[in-house]
Structure 1
Amino acid sequence: MKFENLGYEDIKADLKRLDDVMDDYGLVRAEQWDYERVSYDRKFELKEGVFYLRVLGYAVEGDVGANKAVIQLLTPLLGKHYYPHGVEYGEGENFPKTLVSQCEKILTEVKSVVDSFQTNK
């Protein structure tokens, strides 16, 4: 499921500050990066299954490995994990309404904080 129309595609922000804000909302980069891309994930374990809220981005300046980069964010995703195959983000998936609402709230709050320091507004 894509969370479109939240304005994430317009966000360019400093990697270190972005890491701090995302971490405050439980979205962790951990080892999910390479020199040009990042992925922030938050895991939700519910009776309906295991779900992941994911925010992806890529470096438009600098180097992620050096922790000195400006990151362009992409449309956030919500996916359901299926063992052993991985996470499915397809439109055919059913997501609990309470989870979707919780994710929208998190994404709205994150965007509000990031908007205060993003580059190239």
Structure 2
Amino acid sequence: MKFENTGLEGLKADLNYLDDLMSNHGFVREGQWDYERVTYDRKFELKDGTFYLRVFGFAVEGDVGAHKAIIQLMTPLLGKHYYPHGVEYGEGENFPKTLVSQCEKILAEIKADIEKFAIE
């Protein structure tokens, strides 16, 4: 499920600031990066299954591996995990309304925090 029009799309921020901010909102980056891209995940374990809210970004300047990069954020996604196949984001997925509302609230909070230090 895409969370379009969140206001996150296109925002740019320093990688180290983003790592701290996203961690404060329960997201992890861990090994989910390469030298040009990052993925922040927040896991939700519900009775309906395991879900991941993902915020993607790519380096518009610098190098993620060197921890010196400016990251531009992309459209966040909500996916459901299926063992052993992975996470599905498809239109046919059924996401609990309470989870979707919670994710929208989290994304709005992240946007408000990032805007304070966003890079033009």
TM-score w.r.t. the length of structure 2 is 0.99
Using the aligned pairs only, state the percent identity: 74
Structure-to-structure mapping, 1:71-90, within 5 angstroms: 71-90=71-90
Q: After TM superposition, which residue ranges in structure 1, 4 or more long, deviate above 4 angstroms?
A: none
Matched residue, 2:111: 111
Root-mean-square deviation (Å): 0.5
After superposition, give the CA deviation of every residue in 1:87-119 in whole Å (9 maximum; x if it has no partner): 000111000000000100000000100000010
The count of residues paired between Structure 1 and Structure 2 equals 120
Q: Separation in 2 of the partners of 1:6 and 1:70?
A: 20
Q: Separation in 2 of the partners of 1:115 and 1:90?
A: 30
After superposition, give the CA deviation of every residue in 1:55-74 in whole Å (9 maximum; x if it has no partner): 00000000000000000100
Q: CA deviation at 1:10?
A: 2.3
Q: Separation in 2 of the partners of 1:85 and 1:28?
A: 21
Which amino acid is 1:52 matched to?
Y
Q: Separation in 1 of the partners of 2:12 and 2:119?
A: 5
Q: Separation in 2 of the partners of 1:77 and 1:22?
A: 15
Structure-to-structure mapping, 1:88-99, within 5 angstroms: 88-99=88-99
Matched residue, 1:24: 24
Q: Where do 5+ consecutive residues of structure 2 fail to align?
A: none
Structure-to-structure mapping, 1:58-69, within 5 angstroms: 58-69=58-69
Matched residue, 2:101: 101
Q: Secondary structure at the match of 1:56?
A: strand
Q: Separation in 2 of the partners of 1:36 and 1:113?
A: 23
Q: Separation in 2 of the partners of 1:113 and 1:72?
A: 15
Q: Where do 5+ consecutive residues of structure 1 fail to align?
A: none
